[in-house]
Amino acid sequence: MKTLLRLMIYVRPSAGWVFIAVTIMILATIIDLVAPWILREIFDEGIDKRNMAVVLWLTLSLAGIQALKSAGMFVQGYTQELVGQNVVFLLRKELYSHLQRLSFSYYDRAQTGQLMSRMTGDIEAVKNFVGFGAMNLFTGMLTFLGTIIFMMTMQWKVTLISLITIPFILFVLWRFNHKVGPAWSNIREQMGRLTTTLQENIAGIRVVKSFATEKVEQRKFAERNEQNFETNMERAKLEAKAFPLMGFYGGLTFVLMIWIGAIFVARGEMSLGTFMAFQWYTWGIIWPLNMLGWQINIMQQAVKAAPRVFEVLDTPLDIVSPAGGTETAGMKGNVVFDRVTFHFADQDAEKDQPILNDVSFRVKQGEVIGVLGATGSGKSSLIGLLSRFYDVTGGCVWIDGVDVRDYELDGLRSSIGIVPQETFLFSASIRDNIAFGYPEATQEQIENAARKSQIHSFIESMPNGYDTRIGERGVGLSGGQRQRVALARAILMDPPILVLDEATASVDTATESAIHEALLEVMKGRTTFIIAQRLSSIQHADRIIVLERGRLTEQGTHKELNEGNGFFRQLFDKQKQIAHE
Amino acid sequence: MSQVEWDMDEEADEKPFNMKHMRRMLQYLVPYRRLMTGVVVIVLINMLLSLSEPIILAYIIDIGISEGNIAAIHILGAALLGIKLVSWLFSFMHTRWINFTGQRILFDLRQQLFNHLQSLSFRFFDGRPAGKIMSRITNDTNAIGELINGGLITMVMETTHLLGIVIILFWMDWQLALLSFIMLPLLYVIVAKLRPKIEGSWSRSRSTMSAINGNLNETIQGIRVIQAFSRQRVNNEKFNGINTRNKQAFMRAITLESTVYPLVEMIGMIGTCIVVWFGAVRVLEGAITLGFIMAFINYLWRFWGPLSALSKVYSQLLSAMASAERIFEVLDTAPEVKNSSRARELPSIRGDVSFEGVSFRYEENKPNVLHDVSFHVKAGQRVALVGPTGAGKSTIVNLLMRFYEATEGAVRIDGIDVKDVTLESLRKQMGIVLQDSFIFAGTIEQNMRYGNEEATEEQLRNAAESVRLDRVVAQLSHGYQTELEERGSKLSVGQRQLLTFGRVLLSDPRILILDEATSSVDTETEQHIQEALQTLLAGRTAFIIAHRLSTIKDADLILVVEDGRIAEQGSHEMLMKHGGIYANLVLTQLSMQESVILQSSHS
């Protein structure tokens, strides 16, 4: 019930349309109820009394009201779908914008396939109910009640006797409703899993092919597919049990009406016209009850699907822009980490080692900082905290003396240009990919950024230049080219703080050197963090900090660190050794 | 890149009805023909029973009511009751069977699509957004499943119903029957006019749905970049556009469709009116009885009911046809790289690799990416591929793995052309580690065993130790049983890379390819891997694409790739002596390191 009430919120903007649809529906139902009555009059008043004028007029009016009804039905059919579409549109829109705001820690756990299934299949289920289903449910009940009232006024005894099956039908319906709910819940869940398996397979198709494990994948999918089949059959069994039974009870009503009705007519207690009209009315009773089975199906689907959508919508945004957040215009880029400790959300703060442990350092505007450390030492998390992809567990991160949590969030992130470790490019033109963070950029600005990241001449060499479309995973470009497009993307934003997260790792040394030369100019006046494993990548750093297992163990200039005997010195010796061999 | 336009929405407004697709869809019923025959028989009997009802009714009126024969009423009433009981049993049976068939076909169709996807070459996936491919396997198959589940039985039932009624009506009074059908041609003309438009608008609606899927999938995959660049607002606008287009396409289809059903009802009512009028006249003339006219009208209602039910199935059919086309399109995409008819199992290889005059281009009219590449690698040798980004290094290993087919020339392993062996036997003996490490949802152990499920516990631990994965695992509370998420986000990029190393080592390939695999592993770990590789590589041929000098230097053969050609090849010493591109590359790197050293040593 709570789910239905919540769905009503989404229906409210379409209240006008709902009103129109309902009004038309009531009128159409009344017409449906009046038609058999006219038929009765034709028989009793027209044919029986040999009055052809009455027959003519009544027949014409029968055609007339049907014309009205047909026109109304068209409008109603249209409006009910429109309402459904409006609701879906709104739900999708909300879900999409919510998905975009959910924090990294949510996506660390979320499965793409599950999210996709909720956004498409589950929303579709909701739509079916809100538009077509709910309206039919309403029509059905209205027709049912109206029919009984009309019949009662015509011949209440026959009506009452014929209706004795109704409680049985209601009982079947009630039990069906009770059981089909969980069945639908399983189906929706199963569908989500199927989508996840599928999504993973497509995303990892390269790995699948290189290990020649197509057969294994087929088996995996077949298993999910089989489960999907079984859950669906579970529901189908319920339907097979309930629907024919309801059809039988409905048919019983029909039989009783004829049987008892005929006796009444024979005894002269009922006119033949009424008997005829009753047959028509029987459909007004049987049809809604049969429909009800299907409608319950549709409703239960929606009731089980909607919470899956709401669950995503209700996931709190743990990182939001503070009310009245500090503007970031004119940010200089003085960064201070003050005793920062960080745990992932699913870690046990007591037991697990923190990702970052009591890290403190300060960086002045325009400084270039090299961040060194082994795999998994927490280098990338450092940047995650600066951009507020995650919030610190303890301590503070300050930029220009303001806690990052007090900045307006979009502004903060636009002020930090990141070239990530794993490049993700969108299926759009190269131009759009470079202008990703700054869609208003002019062609000149875009080309400038491309030049600085040593990718301009390559782009120019493509047949369509900057308009060349690249695929979802940026296929068609090599790893190094993709990284340079990502670099151009960050440079174009002209941020006061620039972060290169192993950005040149898959670029050959000559290109890396050229990029660094070009970056010298870009880095001027900007605070720059270069996260790297190669010493060559950080040759232009003013200062270096070294992370080991989440702790800051060394910091200083190249020279200072070389004089120590820590991680830097060891790495240095190792690489020197290779160079001089 | 030409395929990026897949599922853009410039589809035609109207579509001719495709009989071929229709026939093909029906083929999926063939495996279930016995069950379906049973269903059809039952449905037919059921229909006949229900058709007899108005006749019984006519007798009730004419014999029972008019003559006051209560006994007759009881007998006929009991007959009606009997009919209802039998039809209860029958509809229970056919509901069960048809549901089974429908779900089973849905299963078959999905599995067939998925299996086919596995056989398709990389080029199919290049540039085709994953979300759009998924949309075909989930949403489009559903539309067909629904048609079979709900539509097919209605079609069989209502068509026989319709035929039966027409026969009965003509048998009762052919003149009256003709009169009541006078409006039918009009209905036919209108539906024939609407059909292509309806079908066209459904197929548009499907493709906009697929665009939503595509956009959504990309958003979720790229969420980190989106948030880093604060793109939410622009993205919302873009999504709004797609969302609106989908709504409009759907509403257009619905608008057209909503005209059909009321029209059928209207035309039906006109028929009834005509019958009532002429019937009344003939009753007054004494030509027919009242019971007769009632039964006739009763049949007539039953005629229009199925017709409107059929009109609903019809629109379901049109929507399913739009989906069928999209599904068949995928099924009809032939895999570019596939086992040739005379392909045989590749025997256990030693690892001799030779490229003989290999050229390659992605598409017919595109320029060559590789020009006349030739080299020979002896079993057990280590080969380093160096050269600027985009020179064609990855393409060379892709051809070796036969992800793509060489346009000219031949790639031979132990003297056997890779085109002549089965893909599975070829790839099973090779291992590749890519730069982007893909992790499957599941435990670390499951991921390790991905290429070799039969590995023993000991082999597993050894492989993990060799790539230093044991250290990473030791830090996790559940060890090898730690559940990893989709993108393996519990592990850092470097740690994920180690896992993919372990995975490939466990699969024990004869030929090992490392495609920039070590670039995100720190130097210390890399050195350790190098050491482990030294021993593990004994007897294995290795291709290594890398930028770090440390990785390249010890290779037996260095191939310098530039602009799709092998510019230089030889050992480190040879090439240094030669003083060409490679020597230059090494010197640049050295000078960069020197400069770091200088910076550190002096103030």
pLDDT score of B600: 64
Top residue of B202, B486, B504 to mutate, by most chain A CBs within 10 Å, is B486
Measured between alpha carbons, how far is residue A428 from residues A433, A482, B127 in Å? 7, 13, 10
Rounded to the nearest integer, the mean pLDDT of chain B is 82
pLDDT of B488 strictly over 90: no
Average confidence (pLDDT) over B101-110: 88
Please count the residue pairs, one from chain A and one from chain B, whose beta carbons lie less than 8 angstroms apart: 507
CA atoms of A442 and B325, how far apart (whole Å): 42
Closest residue to B125, CB basis, from A117, A200, A205: A205
CA atoms of A541 and A495, how far apart (whole Å): 18
Q: Residue B118 and residue A217: Cβ atoms within 8 Å?
A: yes
CA atoms of B538 and B541, how far apart (whole Å): 8
**Per-residue pLDDT tens over the stretch B30-60:** 898 898 888 888 888 888 888 888 788 888 8
DSSP string for residues in B301-325? HHHHHHHHHHHHHHHHHHHHHHHHH
Q: Residue A107 and residue B489: Cβ atoms within 8 Å?
A: yes
DSSP secondary structure code for residue B478 in this structure: T
* Between B568 and B183, the higher pLDDT residue: B568
3-state secondary structure of A218: helix
Cβ within 8 Å of A, B 322-381:
none
Average confidence (pLDDT) over A533-537: 74
CA atoms of A378 and A553, how far apart (whole Å): 12
Closest residue to A239, CB basis, from B99, B128, B270: B99
3-state secondary structure of A112: helix
Residue B305's closest chain A neighbor by CA? Answer: A283
pLDDT of B232 strictly over 70: yes
Q: Residue A218 and residue B495: Cβ atoms within 8 Å?
A: no
Angstroms from B275 CA to nearest CA on chain A: 10
Top residue of B270, B276, B576, B598 to mutate, by most chain A CBs within 10 Å, is B276
Could you tell me the pLDDT band of residue B373, with boundaries at 50, 70 and 90? Answer: very high
DSSP string for residues in B166-225? HHHHHHHHHHHHHHHTTTHHHHHHHHHHHHHHHHHHHHHHHHHHHHHHHHHHHHHHTHHH
Q: Residue B213 and residue A120: Cβ atoms within 8 Å?
A: yes
In the block, tokens 């067909």 appear at B144
Closest residue to A476, CB basis, from B1, B218, B497: B1
Whether B209 has its CB under 8 Å from any CB of chain A: the answer is yes
**Per-residue pLDDT tens over the stretch A316-341:** 888 888 888 888 888 888 999 999 99
Closest residue to A508, CB basis, from B263, B389, B423: B389
Could you tell me the pLDDT band of residue A223, with boundaries at 50, 70 and 90? Answer: very high
Q: Residue B519 and residue A74: Cβ atoms within 8 Å?
A: no
Q: What angle do CA B347, B351, B356 make, to 5 degrees?
A: 100
Whether B534 has its CB under 8 Å from any CB of chain A: the answer is no
**Closest by CA position to A280, among listed A544, A37, A7:** A37
Cβ within 8 Å of A, B 548-567:
548-550, 553
Average confidence (pLDDT) over A289-307: 85
The complex scores an ipTM of 0.81
**Per-residue pLDDT tens over the stretch A60-89:** 888 898 888 889 989 988 998 899 899 989
pLDDT score of B2: 34
SS3 content of chain B, % helix, strand, coil (to 5): 65, 10, 25
Domain A329-415+532-581, CATH homologous superfamily name and number: P-loop containing nucleotide triphosphate hydrolases (3.40.50.300)
CA atoms of B432 and B500, how far apart (whole Å): 9
Ramachandran sector of residue A9 (left: φ over 0; alpha: ψ -120 to 50; beta: rest): alpha
Could you tell me the pLDDT band of residue A372, with boundaries at 50, 70 and 90? Answer: confident
pLDDT of A217 strictly over 60: yes
Q: pTM here?
A: 0.80
Closest residue to A206, CB basis, from B228, B234, B438: B438
Q: Residue B219 and residue A100: Cβ atoms within 8 Å?
A: yes
Angstroms from B412 CA to nearest CA on chain A: 18
List of chain B residues whose C-beta atoms are within 8 Å of the C-beta of residue A416: 228
Strands A543-548 and A551-556: antiparallel
Closest residue to B60, CB basis, from A203, A209, A262: A262
pLDDT score of B5: 44
pLDDT of A182 strictly over 60: yes
pLDDT of B341 strictly over 90: no
**Per-residue pLDDT tens over the stretch B184-201:** 888 888 888 888 888 888
CA atoms of A465 and A495, how far apart (whole Å): 26
Q: Residue A263 and residue B70: Cβ atoms within 8 Å?
A: yes
pLDDT score of B14: 60
pLDDT score of B228: 79
List of chain B residues whose C-beta atoms are within 8 Å of the C-beta of residue A96: 216, 219, 235-236, 239, 243
pLDDT score of B396: 92
Rounded to the nearest integer, the mean pLDDT of chain A is 85
Token pair for A414: 């636009």
Q: Residue A574 and residue B524: Cβ atoms within 8 Å?
A: yes
pLDDT score of B404: 86
List of chain B residues whose C-beta atoms are within 8 Å of the C-beta of residue A107: 220, 223-224, 489
**Per-residue pLDDT tens over the stretch B274-329:** 888 888 888 888 888 877 877 787 777 777 777 777 877 887 888 888 888 888 88
Burial classification of residue A1, based on how many CB atoms lie within 10 Å of its CB (0-12 exposed, 13-18 middle, 19 or more buried): exposed
Closest residue to B394, CB basis, from A239, A468, A478: A478
Closest residue to B588, CB basis, from A70, A200, A509: A509
In the beta sheet, which residues pair with residue A501?
A531
- Burial code of A368-398, b = ≥16 C-beta within 10 A, e = fewer? bbbbbbbbbbbbbbbbbbbbbbbbbbebebb
CA atoms of B182 and B275, how far apart (whole Å): 11
DSSP string for residues in B355-368? EEEEEE-SSTTSPP
List of chain A residues whose C-beta atoms are within 8 Å of the C-beta of residue B475: 353
Could you tell me the pLDDT band of residue B1, with boundaries at 50, 70 and 90? Answer: very low
Residue B476's closest chain A neighbor by CA? Answer: A352
For B61-102, the three-class secondary structure string (H helix, E strand, C coil) is HHHHHHHCCHHHHHHHHHHHHHHHHHHHHHHHHHHHHHHHHH
- Domain borders along chain A are 2-313, 329-415+532-581
Q: What angle do CA A517, A523, A528 make, to 5 degrees?
A: 115
pLDDT score of B3: 37
Top residue of B43, B118, B146 to mutate, by most chain A CBs within 10 Å, is B118
- Fold classification of A2-313 is ABC transporter transmembrane region fold (1.20.1560)
Torsion B574-B579-B584-B590 (CA) sign: positive
Closest residue to A116, CB basis, from B69, B217, B423: B217
Q: Residue A262 and residue B61: Cβ atoms within 8 Å?
A: yes
Whether B432 has its CB under 8 Å from any CB of chain A: the answer is yes
DSSP secondary structure code for residue A12 in this structure: G
pLDDT score of A447: 93
DSSP string for residues in A455-499? -HHHHHHSTTGGG-EE-TT-TTS-HHHHHHHHHHHHHHT--SEEE
Please state which of the ranges A74-88, A407-421, B488-502 shows the lowest mean pLDDT.
Answer: B488-502
Q: Residue B389 and residue A472: Cβ atoms within 8 Å?
A: no
pLDDT of B353 strictly over 90: yes
Residue A473's closest chain B neighbor by CA? Answer: B127
Q: Residue B228 and residue A420: Cβ atoms within 8 Å?
A: yes
In the beta sheet, which residues pair with residue B443?
B483
Contact B187, B267 (CB under 8 A): yes
**Closest by CA position to B135, among listed B256, B253, B218:** B218
How many other C-beta atoms can be found within 10 angstroms of the C-beta atom of residue B318?
25
Q: Residue B92 and residue A241: Cβ atoms within 8 Å?
A: yes
Average confidence (pLDDT) over A390-397: 91
Whether B485 has its CB under 8 Å from any CB of chain A: the answer is yes
Q: Residue A59 and residue B273: Cβ atoms within 8 Å?
A: yes
pLDDT score of A524: 84
In the block, tokens 């199963």 appear at A190
List of chain A residues whose C-beta atoms are within 8 Å of the C-beta of residue B218: 426-427, 472
For A329, phi and psi rounded to 5 degrees? Answer: -60, 135
